[in-house]
Amino acid sequence: MPVYQESVPYRTAFPSSHPLYMGMLTRVQAHVHPTLSPHDRVFCLGADLLRMSVYSPIDPLPEQTEVAHLSERDWELAKNHPVAWAARAQVRETLRALLPLLKQRQNPNQREQARLRSAQWRDRNWEAQRTSTLAKVLQATTSRPMPAGVLCAALAQHVPPEAIMLEEALTSSQTLPGLWRQTHPHALLGLASGGLGFAIPGAVGVSLAQPGRPVVALVGDGSAMYGIQGLWTAAHLRLPITYVIAQNRGYRIIKERLVSMQGCDQFIGMDMNDPVIDFVQMAQSMGLSAIRVEDPADLPQALKQAIQSGMPQLIEVRVANGFGD
């Protein structure tokens, strides 16, 4: 069976190297519905069942698709969508009991059919999609300000695989799940609640819970301003956190929703360019080393130096705002 990760990466990651891993579902109903349409059943393991973002008349779950849901959280069972089967149980122990039973019951013909289905999905799996996405993104490295996808590609290519990646950049991090390889259970952590301000203090909590591990937090400039004082805590505790601020000088997510939902492009109070916020000086005032990067060619070295320092660092990266900059 092809495997899709839930739409909000705040629980255990799935290894992107698995040949049947297809990537992360989005929080957009119009994207999820056609993704699931080829499937007659969805087996949801421990995850939220199709947590979406804003309202859409499109249901993410196709009408003909049956759902089986296994979760330790009974309040999640059948909360978002009706299910054909649900069980409150410990996911890991249930799978340990279930998988040997399934293998015993498979006959040779069923095993061959499973092998053929697996082969069909491999040409469309996460790794195949990553190759295509990366090639497309890297075509825009000469644009200024750099597109946010170029920043995500640099993170995916130059952050060591053992690092823990947090993201709260909303629009700027859209390509990150399709580029960042998940090699361990805490590879990618994201915003679960919908409220802003998680990543800067959240990175402190993650670093305390995983001592010694490098932590990289990709944070939008708007999101950063909700919890900017967390930089001082990171400096005070001397934690190995690299904060990467995607500086597009505005609230792009609100602009995009205003255009898509109201057909309006009168952006009142959605820009942060008069004056421009200087995150480098702000970080330095709280005890972090900090630099500003505008050329993609400077990103590899900036990331390498920051992460290898083993100390809290901040890199402010100027990215395009999507509306003429």
Distance (Å, whole) CA 189 – CA 195:
15
**pLDDT tens-digit profile of 71-108?**
999 999 999 899 999 999 999 999 999 999 999 999 99
Q: Tell me: pLDDT of 55 over 90.
A: no
Contact between 166 and 216 under an 8 Å Cβ cutoff? The reply is: yes
**Measured distance CA(190)–CA(217) in Å, rounded:** 10
pTM for this model (two decimals): 0.93
Least confident of 5-14, 182-191, 273-282: 5-14
Average pLDDT over residues 244-260: 91
* pLDDT of 193 strictly over 80: no
CA angle (107, 110, 113) in 5-degree steps: 155
CA distance 60 to 43: 15
What structural domains and CATH numbers belong to the chain?
Answer: 3-123 (3.40.50.1220), 127-318 (3.40.50.970)
Give the C-alpha separation, 217 to 210, whole Å. Answer: 14
What single letter denotes the amino acid at residue 231? L
